[in-house]
Amino acid sequence: MPRGTRAVPVPPRRGGARRALTALLLGGLATLAGLVPAPARAWSEGGHRAIALVAQHYLHSRTRERIEALLSGDDTALVPDRGLASESVWADRWRDADRYGSKVNYLGTRQWHFVNLPLLPAGQPPDLSAACFGRPPLPEGSRASTGPARACIVDKIEQFRATLASREAPRDERRRALQFLLHLVGDVHQPLHTIDDGDHGGNDRQVLVGRSTRPISLHSLWDHHLVRSISRDPQVIADRLVQRIRPADLRLWRSQRSADAWALESHEVARREVYATLPAPGEAGASRLTAAQYQAARELAEARLQRAGVRLALLLNETLGR
**CATH code: domain of residue 302:** 1.10.575.10
How would residue 22 be classed by pLDDT, with cut points 50, 70 and 90? very low
- Residue 203 is assigned to a structural domain of this protein: yes
Span 49-101, pLDDT tens digits? 999 999 999 999 999 999 999 999 999 999 999 999 999 999 999 999 999 99
- Residue 136 is assigned to a structural domain of this protein: yes
- Residue 12 is assigned to a structural domain of this protein: no
Total domains in the fold of the chain: 1
Torsion (CA) 199, 203, 206, 211 in degrees, nearest 10: 150
d(CA 188, CA 183): 9
Burial class (CB in 10 A: 0-12, 13-18, 19+), 164: buried
Span 98-126, pLDDT tens digits? 999 999 999 999 999 999 999 999 999 99
Give the contacts of 35 (CB within 8 A, at least 6 positions apart).
none
Query: Strand pairing partners for 207?
Result: 216, 287
Query: Strand pairing partners for 256?
Result: none
- Residue 2 is assigned to a structural domain of this protein: no
How would residue 211 be classed by pLDDT, with cut points 50, 70 and 90? confident
Strand, coil or helix: what is 210? coil
- Residue 91 is assigned to a structural domain of this protein: yes
Work out the percent of the chain whose per-residue pLDDT is above 90: 82
Question: What amino acid is encoded at 293 in this protein?
Answer: Q
Strand, coil or helix: what is 287? strand
The torsion angles phi and psi of 224, rounded to 5 degrees, stand at -120, -55
- Residue 250 is assigned to a structural domain of this protein: yes
CA atoms within 13 A on the CB side of 21: 10
Domain residues for 137?
A: 41-322
- Asked whether the predicted pLDDT for residue 32 surpasses 60, the reply is no
Residues 234-259, mean pLDDT to the nearest whole number: 97
- Residue 22 is assigned to a structural domain of this protein: no
Question: What amino acid is encoded at 106 in this protein?
Answer: Y
Q: Are 173 and 163 in contact (CB under 8 A)?
A: yes
Give the per-residue pLDDT at 11: 34
Q: Are 315 and 181 in contact (CB under 8 A)?
A: yes
pTM comes to: 0.87
Give the contacts of 306 (CB within 8 A, at least 6 positions apart).
54, 241, 244, 245, 249, 253
- Residue 9 is assigned to a structural domain of this protein: no
Q: Are 133 and 151 in contact (CB under 8 A)?
A: yes
Interaxial angle between packed helices 247-254 and 291-320, expressed in degrees from 0 to 180 and rounded to the nearest 10: 70
- Asked whether the predicted pLDDT for residue 15 surpasses 60, the reply is no
Span 248-304, pLDDT tens digits? 999 999 999 999 999 999 999 999 999 999 999 996 899 999 999 999 999 999 999
How would residue 127 be classed by pLDDT, with cut points 50, 70 and 90? very high
